[in-house]
Amino acid sequence: MNRIQAHRLQLRHLHCFLAVARLGHLGRAAQALSISQPAVTKTLADLEALLGLRLFERGRRGARLTPAGQGFLRHASQVMAALDQALDSVAPGQAPTVLRLGALPTVAHAIVAAGLRSLGLPAGTTVHIETGANRELLARLQQGTLDAVVGRLSEPEWLQGLTFEHLYAEPLIIAVRPDHPLRHKRRLSAAQLADYDWILPVADTIIRHNADSWLQSQAVVPRGMVFETLSVSLGRELAASSDALWFTPSGAIEADLERGVLARLPLALTGTEEPVGWLMRSESAPSPALQAVRAALREQAKRRHRRA
């Protein structure tokens, strides 16, 4: 891009590009930006014309970054993060510390809540926590709208510009209500699962892929309903109030198992282990507050390992 083209680049181009990259869909990006979808399409077209590059591949399932788009994402995210820091630097008074964390819903229950309770951060510190699907959180981390993510390993394209520190790994389990008919079967087999409704993670997530792989290895096909959700509270309610089988990481429901709200079926879902770790942008230098959060989560992960 020459200087004249760079001069024509505006913040609306970057805002639009980052929204589509984060959400993977022009319509959802339009809603997030409170503009029309044709406006998003035109803004992206203008940006691609300025750069002389195609940034997204559009299809029925949404918009996917091209290799050029992935490279531009890293730099565009840094530009917006630097702009935020510049604005903070001239804000009147001392701005309070704000930490922006992303966490998978299942991980938030496993170690994030306990880790944050053990923190001794200065008064006035705000810890903003967002939950969501792994890819969405990693995209927001790459864009600079999150400072760190407690999530799972993903495909290399979703980890560009990020570092991953392993915290722990755990397999999926099948959780049911305490008096579920399958709990006291003398010879429980995977084939018997087919007669019940299932609660599964949403499609296109790592834990759903692991659950599907195990079910396929057991040649089990559901004959009942299938509920798809990442919500721990919804999964708990469905499993506790019905005969549905909930495929979930054990860390998400440790308290429920201890209180007897739910019980674990004695079936080992081998091959469903997935590493959970602390992710940050490679070029980021963590603040003292963020280092404290990371240390607290490391300690919680060690405690989980000692209990296992």
pLDDT in tens, 35-55: 899 999 999 999 998 888 899
Query: Is 230 within a domain?
Result: yes
**Sign, Cα dihedral of 270, 264, 166, 24:** positive
User: What's the total number of domains in the chain?
Assistant: 3
What's the rounded mean pLDDT across residues 206-215?
A: 91
pLDDT value at residue 188: 92
Query: Is 82 within a domain?
Result: no
- In angstroms, what is the C-alpha Rg of the chain? 22
Nearest C-alpha neighbor of 224 from the set 205, 199, 198, 246: 198
- Distance, in Å, from the CA atom of 71 to the CA atom of 305, rounded to the nearest integer, reads 37
Task: Identify whether residues 198 and 227 lie together within a single domain.
Answer: yes
H or E element at residue 13: helix 11-23
Task: Identify whether residues 283 and 242 lie together within a single domain.
Answer: no
Q: Domain range holding 220?
A: 172-264
pLDDT value at residue 88: 60
- Distance, in Å, from the CA atom of 89 to the CA atom of 66, rounded to the nearest integer, reads 34
Q: Would you say residue 73 has pLDDT above 90?
A: no
pLDDT in tens, 7-35: 678 888 888 998 888 888 898 888 888 88
Query: For residue 237, what is the domain's CATH number?
Result: 3.40.190.10
Listed residues 264, 283, 298: the one ending a domain = 264
Count of CB atoms situated within 10 Å of the CB of 157:
12
Q: Would you say residue 163 has pLDDT above 70?
A: yes
- Distance, in Å, from the CA atom of 53 to the CA atom of 126, rounded to the nearest integer, reads 39
What's the rounded mean pLDDT across residues 145-152?
A: 91
Query: For residue 11, what is the domain's CATH number?
Result: 1.10.10.10
Is 0.75 surpassed by the pTM of this model?
no
pLDDT value at residue 5: 64
List residues bridging with 98 in a β-sheet: 126
Nearest C-alpha neighbor of 145 from the set 98, 105, 94: 98
Q: Would you say residue 111 has pLDDT above 80?
A: yes
Listed residues 24, 56, 72: the one ending a domain = 72
Residue type for position 242: S
